[in-house]
Structure 1
């Protein structure tokens, strides 16, 4: 599979088909058993706070995540308040994220990714977490110029989201990448697999 710079590609498949595992391999969270992955750019995986330490506070996770994305402390200092305000977590900034709800962790991860500016985004069901207000905020950011020039791998069970944002899509079944190409064809394969 080849994904081009600036492309938004959908990743479809039933639960357990391997979507999240593939995304974690691409993001460098899991090592590969065979084959190779060549990624040019900084990556940010957004999957309910994967990559964040639950033993650290929100404040500490912002600095660690920003550093992983290649930002210097001064650069993180400059965007710190924007991250906290966007995530709507000001009163919890010095709380360990192990005490956060999954929606709060997702908001923090999304805010870091948006404000710290990763080149390649792995969005795993990002529009399915958080409350309605946060989902609307996430969609607004996604539709803004922020996403232009970014490479996005979007995992979603929402065909509406895949159709709206993805120029191509991939379909997975039983841990195998079955199809990569036309979005409608990938959706058809996914729908057939669900009946």
Structure 2
């Protein structure tokens, strides 16, 4: 059964987390002002950054969706699909079977063989989200995924997020939109100055966030 937990972890002078946990089928919020360490923490949990101290226990395949973090800008969209899906445990034949779906959902039919360093941030976000939707990571780290791309993509992303495919997945949702956090997250972590100040009831976490922004 997929899950994650950290107790405590640290990356340089970045994010620290004490008892931050998520379980199968749960959408956990992560909020805080810019620079508080949210993105650093998600990258640590997703395995992008190593920890300096502490431990992390990840049970399941993970994917971080944050403007294509984890994808190589020197590779084409086609190549990144195969690399990213392989990391999630899919075999080549399995990737072949969903390749057209990934490209179609991302609306990148005319850019399959372009290096993603030439993509806009919205195009990168569409590709990353589409890989996650179709390849099926167990644990999703969604870092402001609904705030990037054009309106059409945002509407599509929200529709997919709310559909049945997300059921049973463990999700960490990073956002500055409190309405989104309150709508989807059963529990929420509030970070301040690189430390986890609170983890629990979403309403309480949002209250702390709002107080910190006044």
Same-fold call, TM cutoff 0.5: yes
Alignment of 1:74 with 2:103, yes or no, is no
Question: 1:2 deviation in Å?
Answer: 1.8
Once residues 2 and 66 of structure 1 are traced to their aligned partners in structure 2, the CA distance between those partners, rounded to angstroms, is 25
Name 1:170's counterpart in structure 2: 189
Determine helix, strand or coil for the equivalent of 2:75: coil
Question: 1:6 deviation in Å?
Answer: 1.2
Name 1:187's counterpart in structure 2: 206
Question: 1:122 deviation in Å?
Answer: 0.1
Name 2:6's counterpart in structure 1: none
Once residues 2 and 15 of structure 1 are traced to their aligned partners in structure 2, the CA distance between those partners, rounded to angstroms, is 22
Determine helix, strand or coil for the equivalent of 2:59: coil
Name 2:145's counterpart in structure 1: 126
Alignment of 1:57 with 2:76, yes or no, is yes
Name 1:14's counterpart in structure 2: 33
Name 2:50's counterpart in structure 1: 31
Matched pairs, number = 195
Deviations 1:102-128 (A, max 9, x none): 000000000000000000000000000
Higher relative contact order (CA 8 A, sep 6+): 1
> Residues 69-108 of structure 1: matches in 2 within 5 Å?
69-108=88-127
TM-score (norm 1): 0.99
Name 2:131's counterpart in structure 1: 112
Once residues 184 and 2 of structure 1 are traced to their aligned partners in structure 2, the CA distance between those partners, rounded to angstroms, is 18
Once residues 2 and 89 of structure 1 are traced to their aligned partners in structure 2, the CA distance between those partners, rounded to angstroms, is 35
Deviations 1:37-77 (A, max 9, x none): 00000000000000000000000000000100010000000
Question: Which has the larger helix fraction?
Answer: 1
Give ranges in structure 2 of 5+ residues lacking alignment: 1-19
Question: 1:3 deviation in Å?
Answer: 1.2
Name 1:141's counterpart in structure 2: 160
Give ranges in structure 1 of 5+ residues lacking alignment: none
Name 2:16's counterpart in structure 1: none
Once residues 81 and 142 of structure 1 are traced to their aligned partners in structure 2, the CA distance between those partners, rounded to angstroms, is 20
- Note the aligned Cα RMSD (angstroms): 0.4
Question: Which has the larger strand fraction?
Answer: 2
TM-score (norm 2): 0.91
